[in-house]
Structure 1
């Protein structure tokens, strides 16, 4: 394991891609000094090195998407190769992200989306089928308590079933190209819409993260859903993954979210529930609220 080369490559990726150039410069100097001080000499494996470097990467602004992430399986070549590898395995184990769909008393539907919001090209048919099945429910409970994130295009597709008209959900600023990209719910969705008027409740936990947080935050800020459960993890920066070792991936946030209602995002603070209860009590509370509506 060539520690010096791994650190050098990670520093270069930070300087080139990190959405906050000033923080990238600070972190670059910090990693250089830590390497010179021998701080990484104690790492006897890629996993140990990843843990040490990740702690340093997150020491300035706490960005949880900024990591030197260890993967037990060898990482394929190409940007985001590790993510693609993980996504394929996770999808096969989780019915492509819809592990639970259940009818509750009172005509309320429970739809769990986990462990990820898989890319539309992989999950679109499954999402369509799930929302077609819940379209006639009196109220909908979306369970994101075990969702670690996913694709913003899938967030937009899901929102298409929950709004009657195209709705501005989010804007992403990307450092690469100094560009802004708006996300809207689609004008057309296959299958049946749940619609934009019936009650929607979103369940969250401290594990709810990244793209799953965007779904909860977008619906909350637009007044479309009531969030019930625990404050979420606080990761609002889209990231890219770069292979720097056979088992180490540098994940570097390249953008930041800007909500059209709040003009900010959920980075570090998380999505704050409208009704804060322990995650184990969230479903029962949401069902009670749905029946009350």
Structure 2
């Protein structure tokens, strides 16, 4: 169902979106440029469209035109958007959570003692997902090697990233830091020191599968493990979104999503914004599982059974396995 032009009062939507940019966008100078751009485009009649969905597409293209920030959007919702900040996103995520076993729809033991854990479509808020994710991670903990499939994961909660990492490391570890515009502060993210049940641990072979769709918090999970030297990333370069965002309702069917922070990795000193997470073993996403499974089996076959697995493996070692 569309909203006719005479029912769509565009000017207040553009004004509200521009003000949100000025008040909250993590890059204030870019916010000023974008707010001015939206005003110019409004004055030029670029937003004289028939419905709110069309407006969302046009405004999003303009919002992303300066620095390609994929988290910066005017997002259209088919149903009415709740007025509470962030409520629209949470409502959609809850539906996905309930239909995907809490975000862990695939747990499988492959040949050669290699386990596969698929996390999709999101890393849901930890208050929802700790129980199902903890159960899935406990189930794969005894495996000799683990493949973590993030190819269909489009983001989620940084606290959930830390929770997953805790099961894949041996102790409390500094994973990431987040700079927040509000308060001009840097906040560190550490994996928890303890997990509720068994952990896979920090020494057995670990592979992370990625695709061009892998985004946001799922990228952080892959990037953190890669930068720590803990995992080998197999697949495609990811989408490249490293800015946590908040959502504000600016129309009954439109939500302005504005990044309010940026990631700062303690190892690299930067993040994956715009570049994506680059795989250690590049291949097409549909080939990544077979490739990682073969690498894992070769790695396990090359190791004496009574010796511990090395904690860190270089991509060069994997390529020659």
Please classify the TM superposition score into its range, dividing by the shorter chain length: over 0.9
1:54 and 2:60 matched? yes
* Post-superposition CA distance 1:45-89 (Å, at most 9, x none): 110000000000000000000000001121112110111111111
Q: Determine the C-alpha separation between the residues in 1 that align with 2:153 and 2:270.
A: 22
- Of 32, 42, 49, 1:25 maps to 32
- Of 27, 33, 37, 2:44 maps to 37
* Post-superposition CA distance 1:146-175 (Å, at most 9, x none): 000000000000000011110000000000
- Of 189, 199, 209, 2:195 maps to 189
- Of 110, 114, 130, 1:108 maps to 114
Q: Determine the C-alpha separation between the residues in 1 that align with 2:246 and 2:20.
A: 10
The CA deviation at 1:17 is: 0.1
The CA deviation at 1:275 is: 0.3
Alpha carbon RMSD of aligned pairs, Å?
0.5
**Which residue of the partner structure matches residue 224 of structure 1?**
230
- Count of residue pairs brought into register by the alignment: 292
The CA deviation at 1:44 is: 0.7
* Post-superposition CA distance 1:171-199 (Å, at most 9, x none): 00000111111000100110111000001
Gaps of 5+ in 2: 1-7, 300-321
Q: Determine the C-alpha separation between the residues in 2 that align with 1:239 and 1:131.
A: 28
TM-score, with length taken from structure 2: 0.90
The CA deviation at 1:125 is: 0.3
* Post-superposition CA distance 1:17-43 (Å, at most 9, x none): 0000000000011001000000001x2
**Which residue of the partner structure matches residue 211 of structure 1?**
217
1:77 and 2:83 matched? yes
SS for the counterpart of 2:74 is strand
The CA deviation at 1:92 is: 1.2
Q: How does 1:235-246 map to 2 (within 5 A)?
A: 235-246=241-252
Q: Determine the C-alpha separation between the residues in 1 that align with 2:41 and 2:148.
A: 44
Q: How does 1:121-270 map to 2 (within 5 A)?
A: 121-270=127-276
For structure 1, which segment, 76-85 or 168-177, has the greater mean C-alpha deviation from structure 2 after superposition? 76-85
**Which residue of the partner structure matches residue 11 of structure 2?**
4
Q: Determine the C-alpha separation between the residues in 2 that align with 1:58 and 1:76.
A: 25
Gaps of 5+ in 1: none
SS for the counterpart of 1:161 is helix
SS for the counterpart of 2:168 is coil
- Of 240, 264, 288, 2:294 maps to 288
